[in-house]
Structure 1
Amino acid sequence: MFHFEKHPITNEEEAKEVTKRFTEKEQDLLRKALVTAFQDRAKSQGVSSLLSREEARALFTFNAIPFIGFGFLDNMIMILAGEYIDQQLGTLLCLSTMAAAAIGNIVSDVAGVGLAHYVEAFVGKFGVKQPVLSAEQLESNKARWTTNMARAFGLTVGCIIGMFPLFFFEDDEEKGKKKEELKAR
């Protein structure tokens, strides 16, 4: 399956380059979709290019949900990796807690690169589809603002949910008390 990155195609050569990446079946589907798009555009001449409330809501949902998954995985992996590095390697390598957290962040970012496809595929199973919008609608300030706010919202919610491993860690004070209790026995 081809994943098309969103970037403008500015000339015929770039368009040809993009089409070479599709299979024959995908090229046929694209051709049919383009014919339909031309017909729809001809029919909709004079129709407002403003983003409706329903379209904005669908655009927000489509962009927020994957970022909840990204934020969740990113924060969870960073916390688990950072804690492991701090507890297991921190003393051995004389790492500060912040250095362990930074290394945990590197682990999390690398994992995020590998997991991005799976998050998108998982979200796709819920049937959340990108709303069908015209090029004018997609390029509008409202669509850009909605998309960016949805991603920021989703990432924030995901990061908050991804903090759940913190419930299972003991702080240094609790560890010290347990050590004292063990020594007293």
Structure 2
Amino acid sequence: MEALNADAKALANSAQSSVRSQAHDSSVPQSAVLFSVALSTGLPFIVFGFSDNAIMIVAGDEIESLFGAKLGLSTLAAAGLGNLISDVIGLGMAEPVQARMGRWLKTKPLTIQQTQLWQTRAARFSGSSLGVSIGCLLGMAPLLFLTQKEKRKV
């Protein structure tokens, strides 16, 4: 029984020293690591921005042409409803996209302190902002294919 207690104490001391060493490791990650944080954060946002904008444009156009005149919807109201649809679809896509991207993109593990540094937060914000911007611009592609339609009567 005493040997078991000694092993438990040794294990607890080892865990505490490990936590202490991680807590004090707040060194700024290297530029390559910060770049990989930005990249791994940004790529899923490219997919999200693309799908969000593309679905919103297509859905908004269809809502306007199908229901716009009948329900008295403005173009902006149809776009808002299209945005609602694309946001709901985007929420459903978020987890599978992040899971797939997580398998492709491996980043160096960071300590808790390193993830809270302003440099790491800035890399994460920059990656997600740039990613969603690129995705939204690419998601405007359906505008190239839409033709002016007459409003259909439902």
Structural mapping, 1:3-152, within 5 Å = 38=18, 42=21, 49-125=27-103, 127-152=104-129
Q: Which residue of 2 aligns with 1:163?
A: 140
Normalised by the length of structure 1, the TM-score is 0.66
Partner amino acid for 1:165? P
Q: How far apart are 1:110 and its partner, in Å?
A: 0.9
Q: How far apart are 1:118 and its partner, in Å?
A: 2.0
> How far apart, CA to CA, are the structure 2 residues paired with 1:46 and 1:149?
26
Q: Which has the higher contact order (CA 8 A, sep 6+)?
A: 2
Alignment size in residue pairs: 136
Q: Percent identity among equivalent residues?
A: 35
Q: Give the CA RMSD over aligned residues.
A: 2.5
> How far apart, CA to CA, are the structure 1 residues paired with 2:96 and 2:56?
18
Equivalent pair of 2:46/2:133 in contact (CA under 8 Å): yes
Q: Which runs of 4+ in 1 moved over 4 A?
A: 44-48
Segments of structure 2 that go 5 or more residues without pairing to the other structure are 1-13
> How far apart, CA to CA, are the structure 2 residues paired with 1:88 and 1:130?
47
Equivalent pair of 2:25/2:114 in contact (CA under 8 Å): no
Q: Which residue of 1 aligns with 2:3?
A: none
> How far apart, CA to CA, are the structure 1 residues paired with 2:58 and 2:100?
22
Equivalent pair of 2:25/2:113 in contact (CA under 8 Å): no
Q: How far apart are 1:91 and its partner, in Å?
A: 1.3
Segments of structure 1 that go 5 or more residues without pairing to the other structure are 1-33, 176-185
Equivalent pair of 1:83/1:100 in contact (CA under 8 Å): yes
> How far apart, CA to CA, are the structure 2 residues paired with 1:45 and 1:164?
47
> How far apart, CA to CA, are the structure 2 residues paired with 1:137 and 1:67?
23
Equivalent pair of 2:25/2:111 in contact (CA under 8 Å): no
Q: 1:48 to 1:96 in 2, by over 3 A?
A: closer
Equivalent pair of 1:60/1:150 in contact (CA under 8 Å): yes
Normalised by the length of structure 2, the TM-score is 0.78
Equivalent pair of 2:34/2:120 in contact (CA under 8 Å): yes
